[in-house]
């Protein structure tokens, strides 16, 4: 299995310059390869009888043949991996079922995140050693921010710079032992703010996160007021930059808190249960307004499914996806009756029948159930 370990890097002044150059070189290679690919693709589309279709190998050979002298002072793998990623992006362009389907775009130097990839890095004495280009004298190992589990064979490294901070995603090939079989089953019903399962409820927006979000809202308003009063000069003021750093710090705290919460919950699920049922939700189509979008984004539906999917593969557990049209919320788990039309569980249906948002009243058998527990029971019926 491939396990990805994200760590923060602390390079010295020499390696900071080297990392910045590699980030810029990766962006240059991507844009040059994309421009070449677009030209070849347009020629291929204009001449329908031409079988000369652009490919990853053709674009890579074109860029290597036209390399300038300054490019030989940088890692050759940055160019090759950039072209390889562009080739994958073009393959996704021809598959409209992809969630973020679209044509590959050029990279901007104004983007807050800049990075590159390499597969020639090594782990030496708990530090990261990148491949040294020709003619470079000052080259040092890069230390991490803390002691991390680096067991396994290092395959590839993705390094990026964001807001002046350097991060590395280490892809380690490890051997993972399957979890002990428990012969237990569960189902998870995702909601805005909480996740319901057979053993209880997990709050995805605890008090700590709500305090951070309120502080982020305060910082955003203060920064907007400073820009409104001082115009373009506001971004150059020390007070503005200091508050911006506080805002970025709180965003990192929010991400760490959310990721820690989801990792612990998904690990508990694959440890205690052998079969897990979740819903296959179209999250993007559920984001109707900016208010709903904010709640869905903070509840991390997609991230929860991503973690649970690969952990079930790691530990030999079974994951069942309920169909998007499966009426887990509208179906009565007691008698099987499905609400339709104006009787559906919705704002209009609750207003019409005088029921609460968290209640499920069956008009067929008279059962009064808790809405989320009823959905969990309906998902368990799929096993």
Q: Quickly count: other Cβ atoms within 10 Å of residue 12's Cβ.
A: 13
- b/e per residue, 323-357, with b = 16+ CB within 10 A? eeebbbbbbbbbeebebeeebbbeeebbeeeeeee
Q: Which two tokens stand for residue 374?
A: 């009823």
Determine the Cα angle at 299 with ends 356 and 274, to 5°: 95
Residues β-bridged to residue 322: 279
Query: How wide is the angle at C-alpha 291 spanned by C-alphas 249 and 300, nearest 5°?
Result: 55
Residue with tokens 């984001």: 287
Ramachandran bin of 279, using left for φ above 0, alpha for ψ from -120 to 50, beta for the remaining angles: beta
Backbone angles phi, psi at 84, to 5 degrees: -65, -45
In order, the DSSP letters of 355-378 are --TTEEE-TTT--EEEHHHHHHHH
The distance in angstroms from the start CA to the end CA of the chain is 27
**Domains in the chain: boundaries:** 2-173, 185-322
Local confidence pLDDT in tens for the 383 residues of the chain: 888 889 999 999 999 999 999 999 999 999 999 999 999 888 888 776 656 678 899 999 999 999 998 998 898 999 999 999 999 998 888 877 776 778 899 999 999 899 999 999 999 988 999 988 877 888 999 999 877 778 889 999 999 999 889 999 999 998 888 889 999 999 999 988 899 999 999 999 999 999 999 999 999 999 999 999 888 888 888 999 999 999 999 999 999 999 999 999 999 999 999 999 999 887 777 766 666 678 888 888 889 999 999 999 999 999 999 988 898 888 888 888 888 887 888 777 777 777 787 888 888 887 888 888 999 999 999 98
Q: Are strands 2-10 and 143-144 parallel, antiparallel or unpaired?
A: antiparallel
State how beta strands 194-197 and 200-203 pair: antiparallel
How many CB atoms lie under 10 A from the CB of residue 217? 10
C-beta separation of 185 from 377 below 8 A: no
| Degrees, nearest 5: CA angle 196-298-276 | 30
Asked if residue 75 lies in contact with residue 120, where contact means CB atoms within 8 angstroms, the answer is yes
Q: Where are the beta strands (DSSP E) in the chain?
A: 2-10, 113-118, 122-124, 127-129, 143-144, 153-162, 165-173, 185-187, 189-191, 194-197, 200-203, 275-279, 318-322, 359-361, 368-370
Q: State residue 338's pLDDT score.
A: 87
User: What are the tokens at 159?
Assistant: 């390094």
pLDDT at residue number 133:
82
- The closest alpha carbon to 249, from 158, 165, 193, 148, belongs to 165
Q: What is the pTM of this model?
A: 0.82
CB 226 within 8 A of CB 242: no
Classify residue 277 as exposed, middle or buried by CB count within 10 Å of its CB (0-12, 13-18, 19+): buried
Give φ, ψ of 124 to 5 degrees. -125, 115
* Residue 288, pLDDT score: 64
């Amino acid at each position: 299995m491939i396990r990805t370990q994200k760590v923060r890097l602390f390079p010295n002044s020499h390696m900071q310059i080297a990392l910045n150059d590699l980030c810029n070189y990766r962006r240059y290679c991507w844009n040059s390869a994309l421009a070449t690919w677009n030209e070849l693709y347009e020629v291929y589309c204009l001449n329908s009888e031409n079988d000369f279709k652009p490919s990853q190998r053709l674009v890579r050979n074109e860029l290597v043949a036209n390399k300038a002298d300054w490019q030989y002072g940088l890692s050759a793998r940055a160019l090759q991996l950039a072209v390889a990623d562009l080739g994958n992006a073009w393959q996704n362009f021809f598959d409209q079922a992809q969630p973020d389907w679209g044509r590959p775009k050029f990279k901007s130097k104004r983007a807050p995140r800049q990075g590159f990839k390499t597969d020639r890095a090594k782990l030496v004495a708990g530090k990261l050693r990148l491949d040294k280009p020709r003619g470079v004298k000052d080259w040092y190992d890069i230390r991490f921010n803390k002691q991390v589990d680096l067991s396994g064979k290092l395959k590839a490294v993705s390094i990026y710079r964001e807001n002046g901070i350097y991060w590395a995603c280490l892809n380690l090939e490890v051997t993972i032992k399957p979890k002990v079989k428990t012969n237990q089953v569960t189902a998870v019903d995702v909601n805005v703010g909480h996740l319901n399962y057979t053993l209880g409820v997990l709050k995805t927006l605890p008090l700590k996160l709500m305090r951070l979000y309120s502080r982020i809202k305060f910082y955003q308003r203060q920064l907007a007021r400073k820009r409104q009063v001082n115009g373009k000069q506001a971004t150059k003021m020390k007070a503005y930059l200091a508050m911006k750093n506080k805002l970025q710090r709180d965003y990192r705290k929010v991400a760490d808190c959310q990721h820690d919460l989801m990792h612990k919950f998904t690990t508990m699920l694959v440890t205690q249960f052998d079969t897990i049922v979740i819903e296959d939700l179209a999250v993007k189509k559920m984001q109707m307004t900016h208010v709903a979008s904010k709640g869905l984004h903070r509840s991390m539906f997609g991230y929860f499914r991503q973690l649970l999917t690969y952990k079930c593969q790691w530990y030999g557990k079974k994951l069942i996806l309920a169909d998007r049209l499966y009426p887990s919320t509208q179906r009565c788990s007691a008698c099987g009756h499905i609400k339709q039309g104006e009787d559906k569980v919705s704002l209009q249906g609750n207003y019409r029948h005088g029921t609460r948002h968290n209640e499920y009243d069956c008009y067929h058998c008279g059962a009064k159930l808790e809405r989320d527990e009823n959905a969990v029971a309906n998902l368990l019926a799929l096993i």
